Structure 1
Amino acid sequence: MNTTFRSRLPLWLKLLYGSGDWGISSVGMMRSIFYAIYLTDVVGLEPRLASFGALVGIVWDAVNDPIIGVLSDRLHTRWGRRRPFLLWFAIPFGMSFILLWSAPDWDSQAALLTYVTLSFMLADTLQTLVSVPFLSLTPELTPDYDERTTLTSFRSFFQLTGALSVVIAAPMIVDMVIESGGTQQQGFMLVGAIFGSIGALPLLMIGLFVRERSTPEQRQSLPFRETLRAAWQNVPFRFSVGIHMLNWSAVDMVAVTFPYFLLYWVAQGDLLAKINVLGIDLAYESAFFGILMSVCILFIPFWLWLAKRRNKREAYMIGMIFWVAVALMIYTIQPGETTYLLFLAALAGIGVSAAYVLPDSIFADVIEWDELRTRRRQEGIFYGIRTLIRKLTGALVIFVTLQLLGWSGYQNPPDGVAQFMQPASAVAMIRLLVSPIGAAIVCGTIVFAWLFPLSREQHRRIQQLLEQRRGRTGVM
C-alpha cells in the first residue's frame, strides 16, 4: 500500500530533471531544422555531397550510442551510474555546439565536407555522453506507471520550450548579426554559443543534486553481445522501437524539409521575407515553428489527461491520426498564403505534441518487462539502442532528403543574394517531402502503436511481481 506513496516524486525534482531536456532539445532542434539548409545554403556544399557528411556522422553514432549505454549500466561510483556522465560532460557538450556551426570559408568541397563531418561527430558524441545517462534516469527515479507519465510530461514541457526558444530566437539572432555587418556564419556561431551555454547548466545541476534509486538488479550485467540479443528478445521493446523510429522520422521530416518549403515555395525565394505576428516581424521559420511549438506546449496537459483517462497507446494513436490529416492539408498551401500556413501550423502542433510527450513514456515501461524476465535492470543499453535508432533514422531522413533535392536539381544560392528561386523540379520535390511522404511515415507509427503489447493493467501486474521478488530477495 505504501509503494505508490513512496514512488511519488517531489515537484522540485520533477522540475529539475525535466529542465535537463531543455538543452538537449534546443541543441537537437537547432540541428534538426537548420543544419541541412546551413550545409547547402551557408557552407555551400552540394546537397548530395552534404548528405554523405550527415550519414558518416551518424554511422559513428552506431558505434558510440550502445557503448555509452553499456558503460553507464556498468559504471559504479559513489555518485551512481548516470550522474558522473552529467558531471563530466555537461560543459564540453555545451561548448561543442559552437564548433558545429564554425565551418571555415574554404573553396574545396572535399575539405569542407571533412571539416563539417568531424565537427558533427565530435558534437554528437558529447551529446550522447549526456543524453543516454540522462534518459536512463527516467525509470530509475520512480517505478510507478502514472508517475512516469507525469515525469515524462515535465521533460516534454522543457523539451518543447527549448525547441520553441531556439526556433524563434535563432533566425532573429542570425538576422541581427547580418544587419550589424556580420555574416550568416557568424550568426550561427553566436546561436551555438548562447544555446550551448544555457543548455549545459541544467544537466550539470542534475548531476549535482539528483539521486538515483538503487535496486539489487542494477549490479548485474551481461556481455555486450548477449545484452544486444536480450534487447531483441524483449518483445515490447521491438514495438516501442518501431514507434520511436517512425515517430521521430516524421518529426525530422518536418524539421529538415520545412525551411526549404517555407523559403522556396511559400516565400517564393525571398531570403529576407517576414511574417507579422502580433505586430512583430518574424522570419517564416520563426513564425511557423514558433506557433507549432507553442501549441505543442499548450496541449501537453491534454495528452497527459487522455493517457491517464484511457491509456498511452490509444492517446498516441489519436494524436497520430490527427497529424496525418493535417500533413495532407499542408500540400494545399499556395505561395503567399501566410494566414493559412500559420493556421495549419497550429493544427500540426496538436499532433506533434502527442509525438513528443507519449513515446518516451511508453518506452519506459518495457524496462520492467525485461527485468521480470532476466532479473536485470539494463536501462542504459535499452536507451542507448533507442538513441542509436533515433539518430540513425534522423540521419536517413537527412540523407534521403538531400539526395532527393540534389537529384531534383536543387542549386546552392550565390553568396549575398536576397532573392533566389529553385527550379520547378526541386520545388515539387520539396512539396512532396513535407506532405504526402511525411503523412505516410506517421501512418507507420499508428500500426506499431496498435500492435504494442503492454497495457496499464499488464504493467501493474509486472510491477506487483517485481515487488514480490524484491521483497523475497530482501528477506533472504
Structure 2
Amino acid sequence: MTVASPAVPPKLGFFARFFYGFGSIAYGVKDIAFRTYLLWYYNYIIGAPPALVSAAIMVALIFDAISDPIIGQISDQLRTRWGRRHPLMYASAIPASLSFVLLWFPPPGLEGAALFVYLVVLATAVRTFITLYEIPSSALAPELAPGYDDRTAIASYRYFFGYLGGIGLSFITLFYFMRPTEAYPVGQLNPDAYLAFGLFGGGLMFFSVVASTVGTHHRIKYLRLQPNRDERKSAFQTLAMMARTFSNRNFLAILSFGILKYSAIGLTSALALYFGTFFWGFSNIQLAILTLEYLVAASLALAVAPWASRLMGKRNAAFVLAVLAVVMGALPFILRLNGLFFENDDPRLLPAVFAIGAVYSLCGVSSAILVHAMIGDVVDDSSLRTGRRAEGLFYAANSFMQKSVSGIGVFAAGLLLSVVGFPEKARPGQVPQDVINTLAIWYIPILMALYIGGASFLYFYRLRRADHDANLEAIRQQETGAAE
C-alpha cells in the first residue's frame, strides 16, 4: 500500500526548528563523554589499561551495529496516535540519562574482567537508549523540511545544539568541576570532577530530550503514515527489505565517507586531553577556553553550511570542507614538530591553537551538516526506487556512523597510546618528550588518511539539486494519485 499523504503542513517556524535541534544537546553530551573523557577517566582515574577501555568501547559499538537498524526499522513501522517517532523519543529520556550517570560511578575495587564487563554493559546501555531518541528524532527531518536548502538549514540547528551540549558541558567541567585543589593541583586528575560531570550530564540529557520531544509534538499530524498493520513481513523479508534500502549507491557513498571521517574525529577527541596536557602543556582553564572553539565553529556553521551548499552544492561543499578541515587539524602539530610554532610558555600559543582549531572545527562541522542534509535527499530518492519511506533505517545508519567516533576512534587512540609506550597515570613533566612527539608523529598521517580517504568516497554521490527537485515532484504526484 502506498504511504498516505499527510495534511498540508504550515511553514516550519523558528521555534519548531529550535526544538528540533535542541534535543541534540543529549547526543552532544554523550558524544563529548565518549570521545574525550571516557578513555581518560577509566585509564587515569580508575587505573584501567587503555587497551582494555578502548576494547570495551569497541564491543559496545558492535552491539550498536545491531541495535541501530532494529530501532530504525521499529521507528519506520510503528503506528500510534502519537505517530511513529515521538513514543520512542519519550521512552528514551529516563533510561538514557540514568545509564549515563551510572557509567561514571563504577563500584569501588572493580578491576580486570569485572571492570571490563561493567564498562561494556553501561556503555552499551547509554548508546542504545540515546539511539532510541536520536534515530526517530533525526528521521523527522525529511518531512519537517522537504526543500533542498531547508534541509541544510534545519541540520545546522541540530549540529549547533549538539555542539552546544557537548562543548558547554566540557567547558563547565574544565572550568569549574576540574578546578585545581591542594590534593589535585592538576584538575584533570581529580576523581570528584568526573562524578559531577556524570550527574550534570545526565540531567542535561533528560531535560533536552523531553523539551525537544514536547516541542515538536504539534507536528505529528503533518507526518506521513505507514502501511497498514496487516502488511506483516517475516524476519527474512524484513532483512531483505533493509538490504535493498541500504544498497542505494548515494547512501553508501555517504556512509563510507562518514565512517572514516568520524573515526578521525573520534581519534582527535580521545587524544585531546593527552595532547592538551602533555604536548601543549595547557592548564585546565586553558583547556576550557579551547573548548569554546567548537562553539564558535558551530555558531558560524549555521551560516557557512547553507552558504556553501548554495554555492557549490552539498556534495562538493562537503568534500572541500573536509579536506580543509584535516589540513587545519594537522597544521599546528606539523609546525611544532618542525620547530616553527610557539613554545609552551609563549603567551601567543593559546590564541594560535584556538584560531587554527576554530577553523578546523568550522570546516568539519559544516561538512557534517551537509552530509546530514544529504541523507534526507537520499531518503526521497530511495522511496521512489523501493516504494517505501525508510527515514528510520537511513538515520540509524547515520547514527551508527557518528557513534563510530567513540568506538573506532577511541579504540585506535587506546592502541596508539600502547604502541608509543605512553606511561599510565603520569603527571605533566613525567612523560619523556620523545614519547609525546612520537604520539604526534603517528597521529598526523592517520588523521589525514582517514579524512581524505573518506572524502574520496563522495565522488560516488550523484544527487544534485535538480535530481532532488525532480524526486520531490515525483513523490507529490504519487501521493496525489494515491489520495485520489
TM-score by length of 2: 0.87
CA distance in 1, matches of 2:448, 2:298: 18
In structure 2, give the amino acid aligned to 1:81: R
Q: 1:206 to 1:174 in 2, by over 3 A?
A: closer
User: What SS does the aligned partner of 2:407 have?
Assistant: helix
Q: Residue 171 of structure 1 aligns with which residue?
A: 174
CA distance in 2, matches of 1:112, 1:238: 37
1:384 deviates by 1.4
Aligned positions, number: 457
CA distance in 2, matches of 1:139, 1:221: 25
User: What SS does the aligned partner of 1:80 have?
Assistant: coil
Q: 1:291 to 1:391 in 2, by over 3 A?
A: closer
Bigger mean CA deviation after superposition, 330-339 or 379-388: 330-339
Q: Residue 403 of structure 1 aligns with which residue?
A: 415
Q: Residue 3 of structure 2 aligns with which residue?
A: none
Residue 95 of structure 2 contacts residue 129 of structure 2 at CA under 8 Å; is this kept in 1? yes
1:111 deviates by 2.4
1:7 deviates by 6.5
In structure 1, give the amino acid aligned to 2:92: F
In structure 2, give the amino acid aligned to 1:66: P
1:389 to 401, 409, 419: 401
1:90 corresponds to 2:93: yes
Residue 292 of structure 1 contacts residue 348 of structure 1 at CA under 8 Å; is this kept in 2? no
1:80 corresponds to 2:47: no
Bigger mean CA deviation after superposition, 424-433 or 65-74: 424-433
Structure 2's unaligned 5+ residue stretches are 1-5
User: What SS does the aligned partner of 1:34 have?
Assistant: helix
CA distance in 2, matches of 1:376, 1:296: 34
Q: In percent, how many aligned pairs have the same letter? A: 23
Q: 1:72 to 1:299 in 2, by over 3 A?
A: closer
In structure 2, give the amino acid aligned to 1:243: F
1:136 deviates by 1.2
Q: 1:339 to 1:204 in 2, by over 3 A?
A: closer
Q: 1:469 to 1:396 in 2, by over 3 A?
A: same
Q: 1:141 to 1:347 in 2, by over 3 A?
A: closer
Mapping for residues 328-407 of structure 1, pairs under 5 Å: 328-331=330-333, 332-333=335-336, 335-336=343-344, 337-392=349-404, 394-407=406-419
Q: 1:126 to 1:176 in 2, by over 3 A?
A: same
1:51 deviates by 1.9
Work out which structure has the larger RCO, using CA pairs closer than 8 Å and 6 or more positions apart in sequence.
2
CA distance in 1, matches of 2:146, 2:32: 30
Q: 1:175 to 1:314 in 2, by over 3 A?
A: same
1:30 to 19, 33, 39: 33
Residue 25 of structure 2 contacts residue 162 of structure 2 at CA under 8 Å; is this kept in 1? yes
TM-score by length of 1: 0.89
Q: Residue 234 of structure 1 aligns with which residue?
A: 248
Task: List per-residue Cα deviations over 1:308-345 (Å, max 9, x = no partner).
Answer: 23311122122122213212312223550434322322
Q: 1:86 to 1:441 in 2, by over 3 A?
A: same
2:210 to 182, 198, 204: 204
RMSD after superposition:
2.5
Q: Residue 193 of structure 1 aligns with which residue?
A: 199
Residue 97 of structure 1 contacts residue 123 of structure 1 at CA under 8 Å; is this kept in 2? yes
CA distance in 1, matches of 2:113, 2:225: 52
Task: List per-residue Cα deviations over 1:363-418 (Å, max 9, x = no partner).
Answer: 1111011100111001111211232233346412211221121122122116xxx5
1:13 corresponds to 2:16: yes
CA distance in 1, matches of 2:460, 2:177: 45
1:309 to 304, 308, 311: 311
Task: List per-residue Cα deviations over 1:196-248 (Å, max 9, x = no partner).
Answer: 21232232133334223333556577633113311232111111112222231
Q: 1:37 to 1:308 in 2, by over 3 A?
A: same
